[in-house]
Copies of this chain bind each other. A is one copy, B any other.
Amino acid sequence: MLETFRALADPSRLQIVALLLCEPLSVGTIAERLRIRQPQASKHLRTLSDAGLVEVHPDAQRRIYALRAQSFRDLDSWLERYRRGFEQQFERLDHVLEDLQVNAKNIKEQTNPALGRG
């Protein structure tokens, strides 16, 4: 995950990923769309590739880069732990509220036992 976040923690690379969301593209096209120089595009793609976020499919002297679905699934399952974490926090909160209601009821009954068998 660390490598993934490091790879995405750059504006150019975030733009590249957004571009590739639409369609696989060659290095030259990416450089053109982002208005950066070709070597920078290559370097960013190298970083993204090392992090497993993109894969390359050579086509003659071109190299077509595409998003790698697995890495996004990995990111999703990382995030899943947090989704569950928040759910559990809400559950705990619910229990606390339940307990508060039960306690309030008990206190009422202790104060006025007639309420116990309404």
Task: Point out residues on A near B: beta carbons under 8 Å.
Answer: 1-2, 5-6, 8-11, 14, 21-22, 67, 69, 72, 75-76, 79, 81-83, 85-86
**Leading 10 A-B pairs by shortest Cβ distance:** A9-B9, A5-B8, A5-B9, A6-B9, A21-B85, A72-B82, A69-B86, A5-B5, A2-B14, A76-B79
Given A67-B82, A79-B79, A82-B67, is A5 in contact with B14 using a C-beta cutoff of 8 Å?
A: yes
Considering the chains assembled together, what is the distance between the CA atoms of A9 and B2 in angstroms? 6
Considering the chains assembled together, what is the distance between the CA atoms of A85 and B10 in angstroms? 21
Given A9-B2, A14-B2, is A79 in contact with B85 using a C-beta cutoff of 8 Å?
A: no
- Chain B residues with CB under 8 A of A85: 21-22, 67
- Chain B residues with CB under 8 A of A82: 21, 67, 72
- Chain B residues with CB under 8 A of A22: 85
Residue among A8, A75, A81 with max Cβ neighbours from chain B (10 Å)? A8
